[in-house]
Amino acid sequence: MPEGPEKQTTKARLGRYAMWVLALVALSFVAWAVPIRDRCLEPGASSDTSKVSVTREADGCTLYSKAGPTRIGSQRCGQLTCEAGLATTLAHTRLEFLLGMVLLYFAGTLVWATRWRALLALARVSATPWEVWRVTLEAQAGGLLLPGGIGGDALRVVEMSRRGGQTAKVAASVALERMVGLASLAFVALVCAVAFGARDIDSRLLAFLASLPVGFAGLWVVLRTKAPQGWSWLPAPLRPVLEYAREPGGSKALLRAVVLSLGVSLVNLAVVRGMIAATGVTPSVEGAVYVGTTLAFVVSALPGVPGAWGTGDAAYVLFLGFAGIEPPAALAVCLLYRLLWYLSGVVGAVLLLSRPRR
């Protein structure tokens, strides 16, 4: 018996509450783990438990201990043993690295759009590379408003359906593109981890990443070979994916998308690595950078709060910590990467608003 509107509304409200509780817990973890100010040992102290917050000025600094604020001169301030906070980390970020990462990120969006265009071929969509890239950036703007990129995905389906595409197959191409992207990202991260030395990385994390491309490849083979009547239990929203997979030329389109997706994955991992370099941090376990980045991407893509605020930040702090990156630097990298995402969303919003009205 179907649920009534009142019960559905209650469940939706509870889901939103749970979403925000999760976000608040994640933000609390970040606030606990990441100091905004520098934390320094008080003069004469030798234990990490004696660290206090410090603000710096041109002529000295102020120590905030339990006894109250203490002002010291610049010479004594320079002799303190400190751990950089978020404010100091961002202040020392190298601008030339950031500009390079902006250009690389937007080049990656072109490859991303080309990957989706390869999958759109089976949805009978006729669109130029420029049109697909434009819709991809416009979807970034939609993705800023709803969790998990749901708003952007909906915009992509609607726009390409207007261009004559079969709505169900356009939706299937979007779903498959997400799966291809995740599988290729995990594969590239594994290759990078092995190339830079995987001995110091938890084998369970490597096994999880390996399961993503292997699982997707197995799913595709099963979808292509198992008789359609064997999928009667499949939920209605997922049935277009089955129909899409069984289209003539489906494997060829998927292979093109996978090759392009490897390029997208390389760009995204390179951008995050460039952000780490921009903050002046040197990871102690280089291979773990790519594993941790991928795991942070996975968490950020899960439906949560818009922009993955809280959940994404906590994921960066936790998983980049495996690479020996301190929480302030990890959070700075998360904020810098989010800035690129917002910048592409702004560009997409401008393109969306500049469209001629139909």
Encoded amino acid at 263, one letter: G
> What pLDDT sits at residue 56?
75
pLDDT, tens only, 83-111: 666 676 677 778 788 888 889 999 999 99
Task: Write down the pTM of the prediction.
Answer: 0.74
Give Cα 143 to chain centroid, integer Å: 12
Residues 322 and 185 grouped into a single domain = yes
Residues 107 and 201 grouped into a single domain = yes
Q: Has residue 33 been placed in a domain?
A: no
Q: Determine the length of the chain.
A: 358
Phi, psi of 223 (to 5 degrees): -60, -35
Q: Is the pLDDT of residue 58 over 80?
A: no
Question: Strand 60-65 and strand 38-41: pairing?
Answer: unpaired
Q: Average pLDDT, stretch 233-241? A: 65
Number of domains in the chain: 2
Of 29, 61, 83, the domain-final residue: 83
Residues 196 and 277 grouped into a single domain = yes
Give the chain's mean pLDDT: 77
Q: Is the pLDDT of residue 267 over 90?
A: yes
pLDDT, tens only, 140-186: 776 665 554 566 777 788 888 777 767 778 888 888 888 899 999 99
Q: Which candidate, 265, 302, 244, places its Cα nearest to that of 124?
A: 244
Q: Strand pairing partners for 69?
A: 64
Task: Name the more confident of 254 and 240.
Answer: 254
Residues 74 and 97 grouped into a single domain = no
Residues 55 and 143 grouped into a single domain = no
> What pLDDT sits at residue 66?
72
Where b means 16+ CB within 10 Å and e means fewer, 298-324 reads bbbbeebbbbbbbbbbbbbbbbbbbbb
pLDDT, tens only, 2-40: 555 566 567 556 655 654 564 555 456 545 555 667 777
> What pLDDT sits at residue 3?
54
Residues 61 and 131 grouped into a single domain = no
Q: Has residue 1 been placed in a domain?
A: no
| H or E element at residue 296 | helix 286-301
Residues 287 and 149 grouped into a single domain = yes
Task: Name the more confident of 4 and 136.
Answer: 136
Q: Do residues 63 and 42 touch, judged by C-beta distance below 8 A?
A: yes
Residues 248 and 301 grouped into a single domain = yes
> What pLDDT sits at residue 1?
47
Q: Has residue 125 been placed in a domain?
A: yes
Of 54, 83, 112, the domain-final residue: 83
Q: Average pLDDT, stretch 125-135? A: 84
CA distance 307 to 292: 19
Q: Do residues 260 and 114 touch, judged by C-beta distance below 8 A?
A: yes
Residues 64 and 181 grouped into a single domain = no
Residues 180 and 139 grouped into a single domain = yes
Q: Has residue 22 been placed in a domain?
A: no
Q: Has residue 116 been placed in a domain?
A: yes
CB-CB neighbours of 179 under 10 Å: 17
CB-CB neighbours of 287 under 10 Å: 23
Residues 52 and 95 grouped into a single domain = no
The CA–CA distances, whole Å, from 87 to 13, 248, 274, 328 equal 37, 55, 19, 8
Q: Has residue 18 been placed in a domain?
A: no
Q: Has residue 187 been placed in a domain?
A: yes
Q: Has residue 132 been placed in a domain?
A: yes
Q: Which value, in Å, is the radius of gyration of the alpha carbons in the chain?
A: 24
Q: Strand pairing partners for 55?
A: 62
Residues 44 and 126 grouped into a single domain = no
The domain in which residue 71 lies consists of 38-83
